[in-house]
Amino acid sequence: MIRSINRCLNSKLQEICNHALKLESINQMVKTYLPASMKDHCYVGNFKNGCLKLILTEPIWGSELRYSLPELRDTLRREAGLFQLTSIKLEIAILDSTVEKKQKRNLSISENARQDIIKRAHRVKHLELKEALYKLGGFKETKNDNL
């Protein structure tokens, strides 16, 4: 005898699976009302207490969609039967490629430029600027060195 997978799961896991299925259903419904250009860049993240959270792949899609949110909300209520929908929130997904872009790049300068920056830093009287120039030039000071 083969049992349904739902009968094999404990109640909490079954609740999570049912919620995921519900979100997928809402996701498909929402995509039918999105402009064609946005369908691949927007998906449902959650629907709770009347608030629909849409996840966008890039900030530019949020700018475009933000202007049509009231119309989308009303259409989803009227035509898709999401009567409990009260608001739509947008969130930008943080993808690995976005994180990689924001990582600090190791830039290098030539030895001549480094020495020139340090030489000019020695002449500067403004302490914060002097420290910034030393840092930029890669100057390693000792405790006995005076800025």
Domains (range + CATH), the chain: 5-96 (3.30.300.180), 105-141 (no CATH)
Q: Using the predicted structure, report yes or no on whether residue 95 has a pLDDT greater than 90.
A: no
Give the model's pLDDT for residue 144: 45
Q: Using the predicted structure, report yes or no on whether residue 11 has a pLDDT greater than 90.
A: no
Share of the chain above pLDDT 70, in %: 80
Give the pLDDT band of residue 7 (cuts 50, 70, 90). low
Place of tokens 């020495």: 115
Share of the chain above pLDDT 90, in %: 37
Residues of 68-97 as b/e, b for ≥16 C-beta within 10 angstroms?
eeeebbeebeeeeebeebeebebeeeeeee
State pTM to two decimals: 0.58
Place of tokens 């629907």: 47
